[in-house]
Structure 1
């Protein structure tokens, strides 16, 4: 049986507009740098998954697009990166639809997987295990650690997708036919970052090098149990 190949769709808002719930302790510049760093670590993990052949980034942020190219360029196996501009009107779900449209156009035989870009503790093994599960379901999802949001949304070739990202998206996606996948406790795939407490959890799990440098400067990463500044 031929192994299913996947295209990842990663919607990313402009870094200057992202992670506003971190604004109580991070100034705009460092906050934008952290957002781009988390995107880079997420994409580097995604590009290291051997069943992923293509990544489509949807963004209007040129610097984020450049960071994405650098992250994917370092993958051990060749991965095609497409950058799609943010549609008008803007928004997460329109961006997801634009990425899915592109994926279905350029790689119709691939499964498609919408992956959030703020998963700094993601490991390639986390994502690969989820995609192996997802290959057995026409539509599937991975919920966030709280169980209410969605960090990964998948569909087999030819399956229509109606994205419903936002508050309560896991339940909304289930109502649209997506099967909730089981990931092990502590999986970086379930730990997206919206608030400082999420970062504390991600650091405990072990974030990627880009995120560590953004948080702590370039003098070297902190110990796993070192608190945030």
Structure 2
């Protein structure tokens, strides 16, 4: 399917409430800096996708609104009743405006690339269709593309990947499910940083993690580099 008519939406909660599962390992200022860096890297990846109708940040966080403006992204209101309600409101708005579909990407997948997003769009079905990308653990949903925007009910939360798949199938839609290694890696726990470090990632997130001493420089073994690894804190 062509990207024409599809809007990408990145939902962002209040920075003060973000990444609570990292709270035991990292102070609040580092967690918030990480959220900012990852959001900017995701928006930069979206900016490189030709043909999208547009991309937006759904948030009530003032700083996220400023970041969206810097990246040329539209701001959609946060419904203030949770993630699924916020996305449902965004889908209704976009459908009324005539959008053909809506791609939901979380703001904490800094290894996502423009090329992956383009490939996801290219593999999306015609007509009423759903495409899904699972998180690395197979439980969460790290991308959901629906056409029309409200094709299925959003079910983000624990076990959302299977919930979204089942919701599509109940409507007679066979979802497209693909492997997208960068898109699949989100960052919720210290162990996720180790996993993320094994992949190329957006420059802002990389720079922050490196500055904080969370990434080792590449070590050379023989003729090749072994890559980066995690410094535990």
TM-score bracket for the superposition, by shorter chain length = 0.7 to 0.9
Post-superposition shift, 1:199? 1.7
Equivalent of 2:198 in 183, 201, 204 = 204
Tell me the TM-score normalized by structure 2: 0.83
Equivalent residue for 2:83? 92
Equivalent residue for 2:147? 156
Indicate if the aligned counterparts of 2:125 and 2:176 stay in contact, CA closer than 8 A. no
Post-superposition shift, 1:214? 2.3
Equivalent of 2:93 in 91, 98, 102 = 102
Equivalent residue for 1:181? 177
Local SS of the residue matching 2:133: strand
Change (3 A) 1:121 1:158: closer
Counterpart CA distance in 2 for 1:109 and 1:64 is: 23
Local SS of the residue matching 1:11: strand
CA deviation map 1:64-85 (0-9, x unaligned): 2212232x24xxxxxxx22122
Alignment of 1:48-63 (within 5 A): 48-63=48-63
Structure 2 unaligned regions, length at least 5: 219-226
Equivalent residue for 2:12? 12
Indicate if the aligned counterparts of 1:143 and 1:180 stay in contact, CA closer than 8 A. no
Equivalent of 1:192 in 168, 177, 186 = 186
Counterpart CA distance in 2 for 1:127 and 1:158 is: 17
Counterpart CA distance in 2 for 1:54 and 1:33 is: 26
Post-superposition shift, 1:161? 2.5
Counterpart CA distance in 2 for 1:2 and 1:225 is: 37
Tell me the TM-score normalized by structure 1: 0.85
Post-superposition shift, 1:2? 6.6
Structure 1 unaligned regions, length at least 5: 74-80
Equivalent residue for 1:225? 228
Post-superposition shift, 1:135? 3.4
For the aligned residue pairs, the C-alpha RMSD in angstroms reads 2.4
Indicate if the aligned counterparts of 2:130 and 2:176 stay in contact, CA closer than 8 A. no
Post-superposition shift, 1:158? 6.4
Indicate if the aligned counterparts of 1:150 and 1:169 stay in contact, CA closer than 8 A. yes
Q: Tell me, yes or no, if structure 1 residue 170 matches structure 2 residue 161.
A: yes
Counterpart CA distance in 1 for 2:120 and 2:90 is: 20
